[in-house]
Each structure stands twice: as C-alpha cells, then as structure tokens.
Amino acid sequence: MTTPELGLPMTVPAEGLPSRVRIHEVGARDGLQNEKATVPTEVKAEFVRRLAEAGLGTIEATSFVHPKWVPQLADAEQLFPLVRDLGDLSGTALPVLVPNERGLDRALALGATRIAVFASATESFARANLNRTVDEAFAMFEPVVARARAERAHVRGYLSMCFGDPWEGPVPVPQVVRACRALLDMGCDELSLGDTIGVATPGHVRRLLAELAGQGVPTDVVGVHFHDTYGQALANTLAALEQGVTTVDASAGGLGGCPYAKSATGNLATEDLVWMLTGLGIDTGVDLDRLIATSVWMAEQLGRPSPSRTVRALSHKE
Ligand code: HMG
Ligand code: MG
C-alpha cells in the first residue's frame, strides 16, 4: 500500500492482475469520428502530440476510410504527416484504420507502419459499417492484411459487436469466436474485442475470453474495447484483466461512440482507466495530470465538458 499523491488514488494492489497494461488510445480516431463538428487538422495534430507527451505509447491517429462515410476524418492525408515524426521522436506507435486496399495504399504511401482492419461479428453491423456481409468484409480484408504483412506493417483486427448488436440483440459467443479465429488465421497480429454499444457485463466478458482461450487463442494477442453506455466499461475491464488481458482501448476524455451504431455512446475514458489501474498498482506509463490537461483543452475546442468522471473530479480541484 502506498500513500497517494494529490490527485492520485491510494495504491492497493490486487492479486492475479498484470503488472503493466498497454493502453491503446483511440480518442483521435474513435472519439473524433463521432463528433458533429469537424475538428481542424492542426487541432487534431496537437491533440495527438499532447497525448504522446502524456505518456500514451499507442495512439490511433486517424482512418483511411471513404471520406463520405466518415467526413470528420477526411483530412487523414493532411493529418498523418503532421504527427508521423512521433514514431521517431518518442517511439509512439500510430496505428490507422484501413477498410480495404484503397485505404491501405493511402496509409502506406504516407509511411504508416501499423494498420487496423475492422470486422463485425454481426451481419447487420457489417452492412451498416462496411456495406458488406460478414464474409464479404473478410474477403475485403484478406488482401489488405496479406499486403500489410508483406510490407512489415503491424496489423490489428478489430471485431465489433462482440456482445450485443442494436439490430440483432445478444451475440452468441461461438459466433464471436469464429470471427476472431478468421481474423487471426488471416494474419492479424492482435485482436480488439469491441463492445460497440456498451451492453457487456463482467460475466459475459469472462465467458468470451475463456472460450477464446479454450479455442487456442493466446490471451496476449487479445485487447478489449469497451464503451460505457451502461456504466460497465471499468467493471468489464477489470474482468478482462483478471483473465490475463493486458491491452485495453480507451479514449481520452471519454470522447467517442460510433457513427454507424446509434446507441453507442462514449468509449471508456482513458483517465478513468488510468485512475483504476494506478489504484491497483498497475503501470501504464501515463502522466494523469498531463492527460487531464489535454482532455480539458480538447473539451474547450469542442465546446462541451468531458464526460470522464476523473476529468471532472480532478479538473475542478483547487
Ligand atoms: P462502398 O461504398 O461499398 O465502397 O464502401 P466501394 O468499394 O464500392 O467503392 C466506392 C467508391 O469509394 C470508389 O470510388 C472507391 O475508390 C472509393 P469511385 O470509383 O466510385 O470514384 N473508396 C475509397 N476512397 C477513399 N478511401 C477508401 C476507399 N474505399 C473505397 N478507403 C467502404 C465501402 C468500406 C469504403 C465504406 O463502407 C467505408 O469507408 N466504411 C468505413 C466506416 C467507418 O469508418 N466506420 C467507423 C470505424 S469502425 C468503429 O468505429 C468500431 C471500432 O471502434 C470498434 C468498436 O467499437 O466496435 C473499431
Ligand atoms: Mg469503438
């Protein structure tokens, strides 16, 4: 047990948890893709830089998707060169989303070395998000993953709707496991299990992770991506850590949602995650004060307060 500094929780480690967690920061992509207002490119670049200065080592920068589908990120070509040097300066990993070969061409042309494809466990969301069936989407990703690997790029495979789907309801665990297998067999280096609409609860998380492990999916390639719609994101994260997961997606200030799943509200806020992990004695490398200052600044740019509880609590202290 260690005494807290001002603005940090008391550290009381719990048994059976990892000593370090890698936070995959998605605020600049998952967060900003869902804002009504389009944030100016220079502001996005400063956001990414400030996140890196706060100690986040993996920052998803943008998406090379069709600009009509996500106009908020239509400036990917302008943004990426403004932040690319962070890789050399501080070793920051800057993954970008690509849905197809056109997106891959755009990303590779700018020197991206980490990409993410994004599949769906359900037919309804595959249609809404990618204009494809589940199988057609996998067929679209296959050459993307093969080429990215040939170019020595690291490939993340997102899987959305792993727990529930707004059109189809609860999603059967075997359906999710099959899709995870397909992404790994295709050559993805890691997975991110998306609770896109935030309906998961801890027992469901444990069940899915146990089933994946039972089917031979190594837990160290599995990340979790929770949305906080029903206030379950931290509880679900703790359940995942107890199952051995060490990669957790989060969004600075709790920015985000998903433009093609109306009921998806904000992502798990990075500050709330860092507060919990710090209290558990788990290292993240993140400077919470600097991160909060960044989210307060970003909230000012967006003209509304951050939904993160931790940002609210600590930005009002005297
Ligand atoms: P489509 O309309 O079927 O595209 O969209 P297409 O393949 O028929 O091509 C139509 C035109 O688009 C062509 O141009 C292509 O060149 C062009 P034309 O020949 O007609 O002039 N095009 C592109 N242009 C630029 N960049 C590209 C690109 N691709 C095609 N990459 C498509 C299919 C996949 C492109 C579209 O559905 C799309 O862009 N979807 C992206 C949706 C998206 O970004 N959603 C949010 C991210 S997922 C998410 O947030 C969930 C996650 O956070 C996890 C979770 O919470 O669950 C990851
Ligand atoms: Mg998301």
Query: pTM (2 decimals)?
Result: 0.96
pLDDT of residue 35: 85
Residue 167 Rama label (left phi>0; alpha psi -120 to 50; beta): alpha
Confirm or reject: Cβ of 69 under 6 Å from ligand 1. yes
Q: Which residues are in the CB-under-5-Å shell of ion ligand 2?
A: 30
Q: Which residues does residue 156 pair with via DSSP β-bridges, in sequence order?
A: 116, 190
Going by alpha carbons, the residue nearest to atom 56 of ligand 1 is 196
Residue from 25, 33, 66 to probe ligand 1 pocket by mutation (most atoms less than 8 Å from CB): 66
Q: What percent of the chain has pLDDT over 70?
A: 95
47 lies in some domain: yes
* CA–CA dist 33, 20 (Å, integer): 29
Residue found under tokens 């009504």: 36
Confirm or reject: Cβ of 102 under 6 Å from ligand 1. yes
CATH number at residue 158: 3.20.20.70
* Burial (CB count <10 Å: 0-12, 13-18, 19+), residue 101: middle
pLDDT of residue 202: 98
Q: ∠7-309-165 over CA atoms, to 5°?
A: 140
302 lies in some domain: yes
Strand order, beta sheet including 222-226: 58-59, 22-25, 247-250, 222-226, 190-195, 154-160, 114-120, 96-97, 62-63
3 lies in some domain: no
What average pLDDT score do residues 239-245 get? 98
Confirm or reject: Cβ of 74 under 6 Å from ligand 1. no
pLDDT in tens, 151-208: 999 999 999 999 999 999 999 999 999 999 999 999 999 999 999 999 999 999 999 9
Q: How many domains does the structure of the chain reveal?
A: 1
15 lies in some domain: no
Domain of residue 102 covers 22-315
16 lies in some domain: no
pLDDT of residue 38: 85
What average pLDDT score do residues 22-51 get? 95
The answer to whether 258 is a known catalytic residue is yes
